[in-house]
Amino acid sequence: MIDYLTQPTPFLFFTGKGGVGKTSSACAAALQLARAGKRVLIVSTDPASNLDAVLGTELLATPTPIAGAPNLFGLNIDPEEAARAYRERVVGPYRGVLPDSAVASIEEQLSGACTVEVAAFDEFTGLMSEAETLDAFDHIIFDTAPTGHTLRLLQLPAAWTSFIETNERGASCLGPLSGLKNQQERYAQALSALSDARRTTLVLVARPERSALAEAERTRVELEKQGVTNQFLLINGVFHASGRGDTLALRLEADGQAALDAMAPGLRALASYEVPLKPHNLVGLDALASFFSQAAFHGPTSVQERPRTVLADVAPLSALADDVAAAGHGLVMFMGKGGVGKTTMAAALAVELASRGLAVHLTTTDPAAHLEGTLPEQVPNLRVSRIDPVAETEAYRARVVERSRATLADDALALLEEDLRSPCTEEVAVFHAFSRVVFSSRREIVVMDTAPTGHTLLLLDAAGSYHREAMRQAGNSGLHLGTPLMRLQSASETRVVLVTLAETTPVQEAAQLQEDLRRAEIEPYGWVINRSLAATSTTDPLLRARAAAELGEMRAVVERHAKRVFVVPWSADEPTGSGALRRLMTPASGALARSRAEPTTQGGHALEGTPGHE
């Protein structure tokens, strides 16, 4: 039995690189504890939560009983609702006391994406400190956002406590500082709980992949510095081939073992547990109940395969490169849930365009950027950069202070420098850097690897806030303004590509992201279904079972969601380096064609056209 389930602490955090299985791991642990008689609350701190889909219950912003699981409750921290409540707590006391113009000014200060993030953080700390919640549950499990966002979330208690203690002005980019000071005791309690090994366990979730394990090690080190020392390593999706005749299966097994063998010493020293790769999607209570099982998969040993697929009207990834190359400039943004392969797709397109002699700028907005590992070498015609939140914040502070030095008195300059120390300054600085990159696409090809969905939506929200304020200030002045949002809305200037896996949760999240983008009048160019086993000719029983499970999701993408679809098969070659990345762009690797066919039988189960190589 796993240590953190036999002797669980009151708080358990599940974190890791996108796509490693944090939500399924956290839900499986919550279900097991609940079935052992403990009252458990599972909370998502991810702005793009999918707890509802995994648990099969529509969750609210208050503890909601999970159908079919006595003692288990779920809660989604709704960032927008939290922000509305936070704004009212701050602004409410001033209504009828200050002039309407002053109240309006405070509300304007509280309209940015930073307020959304801090309000969600405020809800998170409340769950760790409010006596009513702590008395109601034996354990609170946090299913967190992908690592970069989580590191910021867990570092905020210390950052805000320090800022509140040293700020003398009584205001911040979040309006009157009293809105934060009122919560200072709550923040201190949360910080104390995080650093208490008797109260908090951090479960680092990874897969047997070098990038996922490297991210787990980075998180281990960063959070250990914050005093979070009670850490556990959960390695999800460990695969063992059923025989020696499938090249893809053997390569997956060998690559996984090599990644585990190369694990950092600090990570290896942690208590750990390996979870075998499952043949099915981990959605619903029955699937979650089998999550920790070590039982081997006993599926069909033979496969009757026909080279058919369920997809139609699909283009190779090279068609996207053709479209971008014809324009000669523009922005291509790859978006999606963490772990679906946005970085790989962005790097593959950039390398392909550069190989055609075009000048390309490949960049990322992801706080936990992985571009260096995906493309470790220099490529002619290709410039690679990263929007580094720390570096951008320092540069932004320096620019603002230097620009104001000649016009502000010493005391006013000191107040400005104090305000710029607020953690919210990072939001403004990153948005400024993002805007520069967006506008640079007027004269060059820019390929952008974005952060996982929730973080990207906050960035786009900042673009929307800036756009509305710019339009308001322009008024009827006759000025012709161009904002980042306007460029993102232009189909001739920006191509937004959604990346997903042929699995229930990533497809649902991509569909929700598409709706969010459309509300901002941004129409996605197309979808990429990445790492598809259904697009390979594997004969391994477990991999074939997973391939069969993909078909329904692939059909949903083609028929209900996407205008254009690209499918990239699961490759036995690790997609790192320019050569491997370019191979993803070729028609043989990048696209499938559908032929309508009668069901094909595999192990007694009917499939809607068993896939193979075309």
Name the residues annotated as catalytic. 19, 21-24, 46, 505
Residue 605 burial (CB count, 10 A): 12
Q: What share of the chain is helix, strand, coil (3-state, %, to 5)?
A: 50, 15, 35
Asked if 281 and 507 touch (Cβ cutoff 8 Å), the reply is: no
Alpha helices per DSSP H over 144-240: 147-166, 178-181, 184-194, 210-225
CA distance 112 to 172: 13
Closest CA relative to residue 123, chosen from 78, 164, 92, 155: 78
H/E element, 445: strand 445-449
304 burial class (0-12, 13-18, 19+ CB within 10 angstroms)?
exposed
CA distance 78 to 124: 11
Closest CA relative to residue 311, chosen from 601, 607, 596, 584: 596
For residue 225, give the amino acid letter: K
CA distance 387 to 483: 19
Angle formed by the axes of helices 425-440 and 113-129, nearest 10°: 140
CA distance 204 to 266: 12
For 439-473, give one letter per residue: b (16+ CB within 10 A) or e: eebeeebbbbbbbbbbbbbbbbbbbbbbbeebeee
Residues 6+ apart with CB under 8 A from 46: 143, 144, 145, 146, 149, 454
Closest CA relative to residue 535, chosen from 590, 605, 600, 601: 590
| DSSP-derived secondary structure letter, 451 | P
Angle formed by the axes of helices 113-129 and 79-91, nearest 10°: 90
- Residue 376, both tokens: 């470790």
- Residue 347, both tokens: 């790097």
For residue 176, give the amino acid letter: P
What are φ and ψ of residue 221, in 5° steps?
Answer: -65, -50
